[in-house]
Amino acid sequence: MPMWSLCAQFCSRVKMCKSINFIGSNKTCQINYAEPGEYYGELVESLGNSFAATSTFPKELAGTCQGHDCKLNEVCMPNGTTYYCFPWTQPFAKRNFTQIFVACPGNQQSILTTWKNPSTGMNYDIENIKNPCTNMNNQHIRSTMIDKWGVLPIDQVKVELFKNGELTVQIYFDGHGSTNSDWFSKDRLRSNSFNDLTQSSITNLFSMDGHPNYGRHLFISKRSGGCNADYGWLVVIDISDATSRYCNFDRLPGKAYPYILYGADHHVARFNYDYEVDLADKMIISISMV
């Protein structure tokens, strides 16, 4: 389905949406709360668009959401032969990024297991929790939106690393048609703050599962050539499934698991050399929607 059709399909499932602008140059979907001839203040001005009003959409575009009874502040989400109503939050409506996961190092809880395990889901409004790792007893925070991944119109997934409270790394992935685990891959890489990481970069591992035997997850590895020649951009040294702590960077002295290592100075690094890597004190994963 063309991108503009996905934009129209999403609009057809939201009662507040009356028309759309689709900007082909950057694949942006703009939601309007009015049609031409109605209150113009609810129309978004933009150049180079494909414009369409909901009155022109074929009814079958909404799928199982056709004739839905969701509220004005909700989005209809197809679910098999039926549907459910999802809250239309302000970040969602503005197509901003919504935080769905916060990883807090040193709490002896597996980051990967917490991400994957629905039983640990919370309904907290993560973005409104100030200093989440401190105020939530250093526990990972997981939104139940992760479990609804397959029915959410996800556009991008963003990974952010922080050190001393400052944003240090950003990585953006294409979330279209992804699952809640395969979005973290080189094929889906859109952009990032590293100076030498692209889709054409040579990697030997780029996945959430990473290297389970060593407990290395969310692993972006360039080369594995023995401890002093293990190059990469990012790795979570986790606690859940490691059968070996082979290298020095797998067992940092006095450092409680899990911890997050990344290439300093926005370059690929040798993980075993502490002057080439930094330790993040928080990781946030967020999603944006079309």
- What is the full DSSP assignment across the chain? --HHHHHHHHHTT-TT--EEEEETTTTEEEEES--TTS-GGGSPP-SSEEEEEGGGS-GGGGGGGTT----TTEEEEEETTEEEEEE--HHHHTT--EEEEEE-TTSS--HHHHHH-GGG-B---GGGSSSHHHHTTT--EEBGGGGGGGGS-EEEEEEEEEETTEEEEEEEEE-TT--TTTTSSGGGEEEES-SS--TTS--SEEESS-BGGGTEEEEEEEE-SSGGG-EEEEEEE-SSS-S---SGGGS-TTPPSPEEEEEGGGS-EETT-TTTEEEESEEEEEEEE-
What pLDDT sits at residue 259? 96
What pLDDT sits at residue 44? 46
**Using CA atoms, how far apart are residues 186 and 198, in angstroms rounded to an integer?**
8
What pLDDT sits at residue 92? 41
What pLDDT sits at residue 205? 96
What pLDDT sits at residue 54? 80
Cβ count within 10 A of residue 122: 13
What pLDDT sits at residue 206? 97
Between the two ends of the chain, the Cα-to-Cα distance in Å is 14
Is-cis flag, bond preceding 78, omega within 30? Answer: no
- Check if the beta carbon of residue 217 is closer than 8 Å to that of residue 261: no
Name residues of the chain where pLDDT drops below 50: 37-47, 90-95
What pLDDT sits at residue 89? 53
What pLDDT sits at residue 1? 60
What pLDDT sits at residue 262? 98
Scored b (16 or more CB within 10 A) or e, 145-155 reads: bbebbeebbbb
What pLDDT sits at residue 242? 60
- Phi and psi at residue 181, to the nearest 5°: -130, -30
What pLDDT sits at residue 120? 58
What pLDDT sits at residue 178? 96
The two three-digit tokens of residue 262, written as one number: 């990344």
The two three-digit tokens of residue 171, written as one number: 């990585």
The two three-digit tokens of residue 44, written as one number: 């978004």
Greatest Cα pair distance in the chain: 68
**Using CA atoms, how far apart are residues 10 and 288, in angstroms rounded to an integer?**
13
- Check if the beta carbon of residue 143 is closer than 8 Å to that of residue 124: yes
Kindly give the pairing relationship between strand 231-237 and strand 259-263: antiparallel
- Check if the beta carbon of residue 206 is closer than 8 Å to that of residue 223: no
What pLDDT sits at residue 235? 97
The closest of 12, 45, 284, 59 to 153, measured between CA atoms, is 12
What pLDDT sits at residue 91? 39
The two three-digit tokens of residue 182, written as one number: 């395969």
